[in-house]
Amino acid sequence: MQSLSVMRWSRRSQRGGIISSLVSILFLFIFCAILYFARHPILRFAAEAWIIDDTLHPADAIIVISDDNFYADRATRAAEVYRQGLAPLVVASGRRLRPYAGIAELMQHDLIERGVPKDKILSIAHDADNTRDEARALAPWALKQQWRSVIIVTSNYHTRRTRYIFTRVFPRSTQVMVTAARDGDFDAERWWEKRVSIKRFTHELAGMLAAIWELNTKDRVTSAIPPVVARQLALTLHLV
In whole angstroms, what is the distance from residue 156 CA to residue 204 CA?
11
Note the pLDDT of residue 43.
Answer: 72
HSE, CB side, 13 Å, CA atoms: give it for residue 189.
Answer: 3
Would you state the pLDDT for residue 224? 41
Closest CA to 86 of 117, 121, 58, 120: 58
CB-based burial, 138-151: b 16+ in 10 Å, e otherwise: beebbeeeebebbb
Count other C-beta atoms under 10 Å from residue 54's C-beta.
15
Q: How far apart are CA 35 and CA 32, in angstroms?
A: 5
Q: Is the separation of the CB atoms in 163 and 52 below 8 Å? A: yes
What tens-digit pLDDT sequence spans the chain (240 residues)? 545 454 554 555 555 556 666 566 656 655 555 544 555 677 777 778 888 999 999 999 999 999 999 999 999 999 999 999 999 999 999 999 888 889 999 999 999 999 999 999 999 999 998 999 999 999 999 999 999 999 999 999 999 999 999 999 999 999 999 999 998 888 877 778 888 888 888 888 889 898 988 888 755 443 444 444 444 444 444 443
Q: What is the structure's pLDDT at 173? A: 92
CA–CA separation, 126 and 107 (whole Å)? 13
Report yes or no on whether pTM surpasses 0.85: no
